[in-house]
Chain A
Amino acid sequence: MDQSVAIQETLADGEYCIIAVQGMLCEGDSRQSRLLGLVRYRLEHGGQEHALFLYTHRRMAITGDDVSLDRIVPVSRDFTLEEVSPDGELYILGSDVTVQLDTAELSLMFQLPFGSHTRMFLQEVARACPGFDPVTPDPEFRWLSRYRCTQLQSQLPTPHGWNSAPGTWPGCARIGGGRYPSRNGLWGLEEARSGAGSVLFGGGAVDQTGLRLAEVARGGGPLWGRSGRRGRRDEEVEEAGREMSAAAGSRERDSAGNSHFDDLRPNGKGLLVDQSSWGQDKPEDLLPRQNKSKSEITDMVRSSTITVSDKAHILSMQKFGLRDTLVKSELVQKEEDYTYIQNFRFFVGTYNVNGQSPKECLRPWLRHSVEAPDVYCVGFQELDLSKEAFFFQDTPKEEEWFKAVSDCLHPGAKYAKIKLIRLVGIMLLLYVKEEHAAYISEVEAESVGTGIMGRMNKGGVAIRFRFHNTSICVVNSHLAAHTEECERRNQDYKDICSRMQFCQVDPGLPPLTISKHDVILWLGDLNYRIEELDVEKVKKLIEEKAFQTLYAYDQLKTQVAAKAVFEGFTEGELTFQPTYKYDTGSDDWDTSEKCRAPAWCDRILWKGKNITQLSYQSHMALKTSDHKPVSSVFDIGVKVRNEELYRKTLEEIVRSLDKMENANIPSVSLSKREFCFQNVKYMQLQVESFTIHNGQVPCRFEFINKPDEQSYCKQWLNANPSRGFLLPDSTIEIELELFVNKSTATKLNSNEDKIEDILVLHLDRGKDYFLSVSGNYLPSCFGSPIHTLCYMKEPILDLPLETVRELTLRPLWTEDDGSQLENPMEIPKELWMMVDYLYRNAVQQEDLFQQPGLRSEFEHVRDCLDTGMIDTLSASNHSVAEALLLFLESLPEPVICYSAYHNCLECSGNYTASKQVISTLPTFHKNVFNYLMAFLQELLKNSAKNHLDENILASIFGSLLLRNPAGHQKLEMVEKKKAQEFIHQFLCNSP
């Protein structure tokens, strides 16, 4: 079932649904059926534009009522529809075809059923894509404006908008509700009457609510003009072709089973997607780069899965269809480069045998020339007039006449029969000299019956073939009889022209018509008569051999002159008397009752270049029929290939396609690839920036994860933006931000981690660039464990890195061995410094620990602590207080060790038990705890000044000193309360 018919019903005048396919729209895990229709619109000035119309539909769409427009994707310059390979799989026969639709604004994934119909659809879409030819203007898609609400018209983007403007603009559409008259009727102009459904253009969020069909009122349209009619014809031809292919498609579908959508595999965008992006713009065609903020740019990027995984190894050819088509069309264009013209002799004959069997030798007709023809095209009409022949299509006459012809071909050469085709009594035979057979290709034969039943003995048969590089079509037709049926004959001719269609080798190509050939030879009983003269006058003129005078009354001559038939064809001068109608067995004019006037019924015409007619004559010697046979000999210049030149041309084409393709691989240049962050400090942001300058191909970029890593860079690094879209020749600045915090500091101190990373900047469908990050980190007491600090008698920055590393890696429970030797401090000196500072300056400070400090002062505090220059410390009390809190927060192991956490919560409320737990802590931790408690109690003594009380301090320090070993952040309320209560006990009771 060809569903484009249903779509066509919803379209407006001038829009034509070329082909439709039903597929699954894949969004995340959801699969929704959509009808995809490729719609063409012919522009007034001759060009055409295309858009993909996506419809939701009920059941299989049969009429316009069954479909409702979901969105329209204009086939603009940045439109691509490409097959992608399912993840990591070889090509599987009969599997669904996954395609990715991309424009600047949106990206959709569809699964289409396997088979030639889908193939054809993809090919049609590829054909519809505007080329990269800079001469052709960008498509403007003005015609699509009818699908937008009038009130939104003011918001329409510039015509160029479809091609490159990012962003989305939902609009409203009127959609025909299937109330159009049949396609054969006249379509009027439409006017919207009321409310319209909204339709998405391009991309953006799906508006699910507004998909109601609009009511459409039709006004009377203008009558079809002449050109309009021609347009229709064109489309009828296309329709016929489409029906054929749709039938083929459904056949395939059946054999492949009906479960195309059962087997939905997850898809990734394969790396092996055909890289050719023919739709890409040349830079000069694009709009000047728009200044966008980074966030805008990142918004445009869809979240793409990047292909680090293994992809299909070997893919089948089908995605190269486009490339093949390009190669072929280039070969055709460059034909002159590798072919030369060589003449071949063609014999063309036509004979209406009036249902007779061959009774005489055909030599006088077929063998009258001295030289043996290279090609014989021999046509008969009225081979068999019996009813059996008509109804059963079988006749012994076929064999008889075939044999008669074969026997009488020129003895100077051996001939091979290439093809025989017959439609009732109309038969055409094609022979070539044996040695030419190897150069005959793409042979197809077709027949067309004209008229309705009873008149089916009229019509035409044709054989088309390639001889060397020239395409040739030979047509034998028997047109309507009787003098007055001239119009009918013209119509028969047109019907044969439009309905005669030859399959192409490539099933994706539309069928060939007669007119698409380099050389056309048309022979037959065309049945045109001599008009306006009475029989006697005609006979008299014939007797006088005044053929020129007589010719003026020949219907074929007058009809051709009026361009009513055989346009572009040539006929040689008629130097022989009319070939109809004789008494059988004689050269006498018809003496029967009807007494037909003589006429040149049997004719030979041609069309094409390099054709010279050498003779055109009748053969009076043959008397079997009431017609005389006619023959013509031609020299036809055929394009013959120079193999050497051909090979060179082909190689050149392939090379230039490769070159173009390589030029279309996205490529950028980076202003910098190595980044050195020197003397990185704890919680101090460092930024290095660089620019990505795009080449000539629009591209998406993204920093991608290295294999087995969760993110594209180390935790302390961030790229901003980390992905985006770049127009040709545009630039974007990327900032690499380095920030070491409590979760990354310890490993940097211990040298388990270094300021070293490699970032992979990936271009969609393009290269990967490696950026290297290096630098050094200045160890800090922040992020260092308590016991480590206790062993550090020097400021941390005065110690060799190796010592810092060693001490940082030292296990927590090592106090007994060697501690005497090293004589550690009881608590970290840095803690002491801060507490001492506060003790001296801030015991009476209002809102201590509750007001935030200043970042710059924190940095100063950190530097003082790490360099040991505590004397120079001058900062507000709040900043020092905050530094203290940060210090506690950054401890990799909290003051109350993780292992003691649950014990503490359990005995919270029981002071004795709580003290017991504290006593089990490692010495340094115990010391720190007691030291802090003493300090806090000291603060409480000044609560009148500093407004602190036990509850405030317990709530601040509870969550710092006691941290949940599993994810500290999300403390439950109960746990929080217990932790506070635990600290609270120590604040109320003296130790």
Chain B
Amino acid sequence: MAKQYDVLFRLLLIGDSGVGKTCLLCRFTDNEFHSSHISTIGVDFKMKTIEVDGIKVRIQIWDTAGQERYQTITKQYYRRAQGIFLVYDISSERSYQHIMKWVSDVDEYAPEGVQKILIGNKADEEQKRQVGREQGQQLAKEYGMDFYETSACTNLNIKESFMRLTELVLQAHRKELDGLRTRASNELALAELEEDEGKPEGPANSSKTCWC
């Protein structure tokens, strides 16, 4: 197995309390869904290893408390993130309206070059829908973000959105990575004959975007 370099970075989930941030995280890392809502009080994280374009990526995903009164503190975590999910609930107009506020917090507190992606969660709740798909798309376009409607409940677009944000972050850090890549290939000149084993299809090859 040609040894590749690995990358570690942080993604952050933000949005109103109850929009499904914790569920999105659980679905992605453990493929589980719990319908009970125990609101996150503090910040929690989980690790996940994925492969994108042959790069082993380890992501630390931070789940934050959404409640108003903790926001002064949770904002302080933004600056440690390389990628941020802005999550609203399609069955809550209010959570959608609040995205604007969340975006301005991100602009203020997150590092420059942080990658953002807009998520309209609970896409399975079609009958309770208050926010149209186009509205989500429109907002994402305004802010120059990618947009996904997801459902932690039915596992819709979960992997896709996490992969997408990961890709965006990798793209944004392409220079640093290329540096590592050159070095790695120097070290591995001996391994020429090695077949390209150990490259699972799945997540790795599902990302067709060529960013290098």
Contact = CB atoms under 8 A, between A and B. Distances in A.
Interface string B1-20: 11111111110000000000
A320 B188 contact: no
Interface string A518-539: 0000000000000000000000
11 contacts: A275-B60, A317-B56, A320-B8, A328-B1, A438-B195, A505-B3, A647-B201, A662-B29, A665-B47, A758-B69, A768-B42
B44 interface: yes
B73 interface: yes
B36 interface: no
Contacts of A646: 197, 200
A503 B44 CA distance: 43
A370 interface: no
Contacts of B6: 316-317, 320
A30 B201 CA distance: 51
B7 A505 contact: no
Interface in B180-199: 180, 183-184, 187-188, 190-191, 193-195, 197-198
A393 interface: no
B37 interface: no
A503 B58 CA distance: 28
Task: Give the residue among A90, A310, A650 with the most B Cβ atoms within 10 A.
Answer: A650
A921 interface: no
The 5 closest A-B pairs by CB, nearest first: A317-B6, A769-B42, A647-B200, A317-B5, A441-B194
A324 B193 CA distance: 21
Contacts of A165: none
Contacts of B176: 90-91, 314
Interface of A: 90-91, 93, 271-272, 274-275, 308, 310-311, 313-317, 320, 324, 328, 438-443, 503, 505-507, 641, 646-647, 650-651, 654, 657-659, 661-662, 665, 673, 706-707, 758, 760-761, 767-770, 772
Contacts of A90: 176
Contacts of B56: 317, 320
Nearest to B1: A328
B4 A317 contact: yes
Given A442-B194, A505-B188, A758-B69, A315 B3 contact: no
A432 to B, nearest CB: 11
B14 to A, nearest CB: 15
Given A272-B8, A308-B76, A438-B195, A658 B82 contact: no
A665 B45 contact: yes
B73 A758 contact: yes
A119 to B, nearest CB: 11
B48 interface: yes
Nearest to B46: A662
Q: How large is the interface on B (under 10, 10 to 19, 20 to 34, 35 or more residues)?
A: 35 or more
B73 A315 contact: no
Interface string B50-66: 00000010101000010
Interface of A is mostly: mixed
Contacts of A505: 1-3, 188, 190-191, 194
A767 B43 contact: yes
Interface of B is mostly: mixed
A767 B9 contact: no
Contacts of B179: 93
Given A506-B3, A647-B200, A314 B193 contact: no
A665 B80 contact: no
Task: Give the residue among B29, B58, B73 with the most A Cβ atoms within 10 A.
Answer: B58
Contact of B79 (A310, A439, A657): A310
Contacts of A641: 197
B177 interface: yes
B195 A314 contact: no
B173 interface: yes
B176 to A, nearest CB: 6
B69 A767 contact: no
A754 to B, nearest CB: 12
Contacts of B187: 507
Contact of B70 (A93, A328, A440, A758): A758
A271 B80 contact: yes
A20 B47 CA distance: 33
A53 B181 CA distance: 36
Contacts of A662: 29-30, 46-47
B49 interface: yes
B100 interface: no
B47 A661 contact: yes
Contacts of B2: 505
Interface in B78-121: 79-80, 82, 111
Given A272-B60, A314-B176, A707 B7 contact: no
Nearest to B75: A707
Contact of A315 (B8, B43, B48, B80): B8
Contacts of A440: 193
A4 to B, nearest CB: 25
B82 A313 contact: yes
Contact of B173 (A313, A317, A324, A442): A313
A346 B8 CA distance: 45
A255 to B, nearest CB: 13
Contacts of B30: 659, 662
A91 B200 contact: no
B73 A311 contact: no
Contacts of A772: 69-70
Contacts of B43: 767-768
Contacts of A272: 8, 10, 60
A581 B106 CA distance: 86
Given A506-B3, A654-B49, A770 B42 contact: yes
B83 to A, nearest CB: 11
A314 B29 contact: no
Given A328-B1, A441-B193, A657-B49, A317 B76 contact: no
Contacts of A761: 42
A580 to B, nearest CB: 37
Given A320-B8, A320-B56, A758-B69, 11 more contacts: A90-B176, A271-B80, A272-B8, A311-B80, A314-B7, A314-B173, A315-B7, A443-B193, A647-B200, A758-B73, A769-B41
A505 B2 CA distance: 8
B187 to A, nearest CB: 8
B3 A324 contact: yes
B70 to A, nearest CB: 5
Task: Give the residue among A275, A328, A503, A673 with the most B Cβ atoms within 10 A.
Answer: A275
Contacts of B70: 758, 770, 772
Contacts of B47: 275, 658, 661-662, 665
Given A647-B200, A658-B29, A673 B41 contact: yes
Contacts of A760: 42, 73
